[in-house]
């Protein structure tokens, strides 16, 4: 995919900065491009892709915090 070749490394660096974890960053970027292949998104500019990666990273952080909180409540 041309978009991945053009923007993949930059998006991976962005996700890694937000998440602080290379494996999670790779998962976020891979999920984004998988979703892009399945949909016909119109606006595939770099700013759009940065927003999409950032939002997915923030969702992952939120989900991890929620899961951790729920597990702590369940253990107590």
Residue 67: predicted pLDDT: 82
Q: Quote the pLDDT of residue 42.
A: 67
pLDDT at 33: 92
How many other C-beta atoms can be found within 10 angstroms of the C-beta atom of residue 7?
Answer: 21
Confidence at residue 66, expressed as pLDDT on a 0 to 100 scale: 85
Q: Compute the distance between CA of residue 27 and CA of residue 56 in angstroms, rounded to an integer.
A: 10
The pLDDT of residue 76: 59
Tell me if the pTM is above 0.95: no
Give average pLDDT by consecutive 10-residue segment, the chain, 76 residues: 90 96 95 86 83 96 86 72
């Amino acid at each position: 995919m041309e978009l991945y070749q053009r923007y993949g490394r930059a998006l991976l660096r962005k996700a890694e900065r937000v998440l602080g974890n290379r494996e999670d960053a790779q998962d976020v970027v891979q999920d984004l491009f998988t979703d892009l292949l399945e949909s016909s998104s119109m606006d595939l500019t770099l700013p759009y892709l940065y927003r999409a990666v950032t939002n997915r990273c923030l969702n992952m952080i939120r989900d991890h915090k929620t899961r951790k909180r729920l597990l702590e409540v369940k253990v107590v």
